[in-house]
Chain A
Amino acid sequence: MISKNSFSKKTLLLREGCRRHIWITILSLVGFLLSVILPVMIIVQRYQQSVKAGDLYYTFEEAGRDILSALSFFNPMSATILIILAVIGGIGVFCYLHSGKETDFFHSLPISREKLFLVDYLVVPMIVIPCYIVIVLLGVLIVSVMGFSSMMSMSLVLFGLLQSALFFLLIYSVAVLGTILCGNRVIASLLLLWIYFSLTSWIYIIVGYLSSLKTFVLPYWMDTVALKLSPILHFYELMSNESEIMYSANSSGALASTDWIPRIMASACDNLVGCLIAFIAISVVCYFLFKIRPSESAGNALAFEKSKTPIKIYMTVFMALVGGLFLASIVGEANNYLWMGIGIVIGGVIMHGVVEAIYAFDIRAIFRHLPHLGVSILVAFVVAFGIRLDAMGYDTKRVELSEIKSADLYCFNLQNNTVYRGYQPQSVDIFQDEENIEKVWQLANYCVDSLDQETDLNNESYLDCRITFHMKSGGTMQREYYVNSLEARTLAEELSHTPEYLQKYHELYRDDFLTHLDNPDNNIYLTIQSYYETDHNENLTDYVFDPEAIKEIWEAAGEDLMHADLDYLRTHLPELYLETDYSARIPIYPNYYQTMSLIQNYSDYQTFEIQTADVERVEITYYRDNEENESMVYNAVTYYDAPITVRVETSADFNGNRWKAEVTNAEDIRGLIQNVVPGMAVYSGEYPLNDSGDEVVLKVWLNDGTYVENLVYLEGNQPTELLAKYFAEAEPSPI
């Protein structure tokens, strides 16, 4: 009987609470109507316009999926509304704790703090979540009536509601926590910003300091973890991931099926469980804090006297580290310790002063509790300099060979990244073979040994590689080395041509390519293309449309690559390249006999050569650096992680830096074109070759009026005398 009375009283109080906070209901309904119903109506209208126009640029299926995603998992607008409601609802309902008058009223009533908390805590979710459900279901009803019922998946809609509700509850619980912790509304809002975003920011600040280490690699999970520490960012991130799943299904043509729906649900499952646990944990903390919160703290900056110092030190250390990183980065030297130190002091002093002034509501209080400032700055110094000076031995860490289970190697400057699959942030077990693992381990040791030496990007022994060791104990050690070491470079080259490496990294062994090829809807065709760049494509490009033929050529190329001699690949130019919509360019070398033979069989591609007799004239473009313009030509390694010298041309200051000369003398033409090679081939092979320094580029005009351009010389193959002769006649050619 007592519990029944108690229940009915709670219900009454809850109803009264909802009535008192009617503004939340109004705000929820208006917000959800604008963020759910309105976008859905816009999608429907867009589809109808597409139908009316008859061009079907927006298909029924795409419109249906967009509507479904907007009503379920991907609707940034309704997510934003939910976040706003959670924050202002949490503050709005509990902000009476910040007013002495209101606290006196509520705390003098004959109701236990537990019950008071429970009633207040439930008010906002009891309003917002039902409003959201009603609006979403209304949206489903509307679009079903408008003919999209076949595209509606109620399980996905319900999943979306669950996901949104859980994130709403988590963000709301944090808002309540911040409100209970503070005794003032403005301070509560400021503190909430810290609670919502500071943990994520901590990760990035620490990463900022770690990135000054020579071998630091940002772990692939860092972003995910960082975002998970902020419920707001995590909410958006999860939505974005789910949307990606849907769009990847769309791009692979699987949108028509519903296979992607369980994938979305499965991908979010762990996150939602984590979200639920975090919500429960924070709610319990809120409950206990509410219970012990002294009523007299209304109006104070913080409700709990004992929390003042830890919170202040937390903020001060953070801002000191931000200040250190900021000053060190704006002075432009990553290891500028003096400026980093000054930044730490400035950041710490400012934050300490601000917090003290807020605590005391008195600007004159900024220098109170100076020992706390000292401790904060000391902690910041220890963290910042500890990382910068590598006190933990991060760079020089070596592992025992016996502890390694598998290894991964990615060489950024060894091979041509346009050909290979490219950098994979998520490390994979490339090397399982013991012999290879030992070589990688040896390579890591060579790299550690060479860390102290100066690096020269243009040196042939330069190596930029990322090494990952997966340990038997379950841990992972990942480092990226930039070193000049001939031993390391040689070892890396050997490893990069092992079957284990090629099968994991090379485009020719992509596991999904043949799957795409097997799907007739993809209409994959193979382009066979010469590296010569001309204004006419006859005989330089051909296509293979038969999937079986493509498969045969593809597999033959893979086999040829596997059997190709490393030295050969490093010293020869590829003849042509293969390309599809689903792959990068695959260079084909003259000694890929099996592949070349199949190409001859399945296409009309013909090898191109420039015959002297066909040449009418040659245009030579000279690029000469002078001291003033030296900075305009630089090595691109810094930017592209590849040893390719590129020319940076700016229209503003290029005058005098480019000269042109024209050659019509047949003898000279012969001499000039004797050793030219297509510029694209020089840096597009499996292992890029060195050209003549990119100082001279030729354009050859043929008798039929067409031309071949971007012809260069390999290193040491320049007809120096001829070039010098024509350089004397060349005229400046501003851009």
Chain B
Amino acid sequence: MIQANQVCKSFGNIQAVNQVDLTIRSGEVFGLIGSNGAGKSTFLRMLCGVYRPDSGKLTIDEEEVYENVTLKKRCFYISDDQYFLNNSTPEEMKNYYRMFYENFDQERFHKLMKGFDLNPQRKIRTFSKGMKKQVSVICGICTGVDYLFCDETFDGLDPVARQAVKSLFAEDVAERKLTPIIASHNLRELEDICDHVGLLHKGGILLSQDLEELKLGIHKMQCAFTTPKTATDFQGIEIVHIQQRGSLYTITAKGNEEEIRKHIQNMDPIFYEILPLTLEEIFINETEVAGYDIKKLIF
């Protein structure tokens, strides 16, 4: 289990991560989402022991990560901008990783390389961006670590490769309780795979919740009324966002779906329906509440 307790990290005057409290259970896929510059990559770098937190406590299975070699053997970091040894091939990278990760599964490595149609003897520098990502993921998976920290890992992967990677993660989560922590902007991708999401904004954590719970706790509803409604009419519902176009209202609200539905019915709508809410919409709504309004960016 990963636990962050009041973790802070700053670079000069910039507060990259600010008092983050977070718990990530082992064996679940954790999606780390957040606005640009929210501190996702910094948080991941602290998790894998590259950065030392300025304050607070960051532990994996109750041990601090920084300079903890034993613990780091159970972690693998796939950076957004991966580095491979100069002029190396996947085979050489595999051999290099084997020096650090004793449980490196060579057989699986070759199988996956073949599966992804990658030549292990070819120079990595000649690979495309997506192929390099695949090599990183394959190496990470084959190290046999318990924690896999992925920074924008799906970025650059084609749809087939994305699905394949997701399957790989799912397989390892199911079989050996791998805990992938995936930082991404691609919320649609995370939606498919994550059990739990953490939303970072301006260095702080806005929410951390099971995805299902999150989806159950926030709802989007479209309804039409014969008479115009004011905010006071919606009192009793925790409105996150409301949009009116004529007599049509689109409401995003937190709370029990049944209670919201009942409240709307009592307002005598011409019609109403519950719409599926994507993670992206949840992200926009939550960050908007925290002052990150998309409209401010555009207008």
Contacts and interface: CB of A to CB of B under 8 A. Distances in A.
7 closest residue pairs by CB, A with B: A110-B72, A105-B83, A108-B77, A110-B73, A107-B50, A108-B48, A101-B83
Contacts of B158: none
B76 to A, nearest CB: 8
B230 interface: no
Contacts of A295: 45, 50-51
Contact of B69 (A20, A99, A103, A110): A110
A101 B85 CA distance: 11
A9 interface: yes
Given A101-B79, A101-B83, A296-B11, A107 B49 contact: yes
B96 A102 contact: no
A516 interface: no
Contacts of A305: 12
Nearest to A96: B83
Contacts of B12: 305
B86 interface: yes
Interface in B1-16: 11-12
A548 interface: no
A104 B45 contact: yes
Contacts, number: 58
A104 B100 contact: no
B204 to A, nearest CB: 19
B69 to A, nearest CB: 5
B48 A294 contact: no
A16 B67 contact: no
A728 interface: no
B96 A16 contact: yes
Contacts of B48: 108
A284 interface: no
Nearest to B71: A110
B287 to A, nearest CB: 25
A104 B77 contact: yes
A112 B83 contact: no
Contact of A20 (B75, B81, B86): B86
A370 B167 CA distance: 59
Contacts of A103: 50
Given A12-B99, A103-B50, A295-B50, A112 B79 contact: no
A680 interface: no
Interface in A107-128: 107-113
B43 interface: no
Contacts of A218: none
Nearest to A15: B99
A294 B96 contact: no
A102 B67 contact: no
Given A294-B52, A295-B45, A16 B99 contact: yes
Interface in B48-90: 48-52, 67, 69-70, 72-73, 75-77, 79, 81-83, 85-86
A158 interface: no
A365 interface: no
Given A12-B99, A13-B99, A104-B79, A112 B69 contact: yes
Interface in A453-505: none
Interface in B226-270: none
Contact of A110 (B51, B82, B83, B101): B101
Nearest to B87: A20
A180 to B, nearest CB: 17
Contact of B81 (A9, A101, A112): A101
B82 A101 contact: yes
A111 B82 CA distance: 18
A108 B50 contact: yes
Nearest to A107: B50
A100 B50 CA distance: 10
Nearest to A8: B99
A111 B69 contact: yes
A105 B136 CA distance: 11
A108 B72 contact: yes
Contacts of A20: 85-86
Interface in A1-27: 9, 12-13, 16, 20
B99 A108 contact: no
Interface in A258-292: none
A112 B96 CA distance: 16
Contacts of A113: 67
21 contacts: A12-B99, A16-B96, A16-B99, A20-B85, A20-B86, A101-B79, A101-B82, A104-B45, A104-B50, A104-B79, A104-B81, A107-B50, A108-B49, A108-B76, A109-B100, A110-B72, A110-B100, A111-B69, A112-B69, A113-B67, A295-B45
Contact of A111 (B50, B75, B76, B100): B100
Most buried by B among A9, A20, A108: A108
A13 B95 CA distance: 11
Contacts of B51: 294-296
Interface in A667-709: none
Contacts of B101: 110
Most buried by B among A16, A109, A294: A109
B84 to A, nearest CB: 8
Contacts of B86: 20
Interface string B1-35: 00000000001100000000000000000000000
Contacts of B96: 16
A509 B77 CA distance: 80
Given A104-B79, A105-B82, A305-B12, 4 more contacts: A20-B85, A101-B81, A110-B70, A296-B45
Most buried by B among A9, A16, A110, A111: A110
Nearest to B99: A12
Interface string A535-550: 0000000000000000
Contact of A109 (B45, B72, B82): B72
Nearest to B11: A296
Contacts of B85: 20
Nearest to A109: B100
Contacts of A107: 49-50
A102 B82 CA distance: 8
A654 B131 CA distance: 85
A10 to B, nearest CB: 10
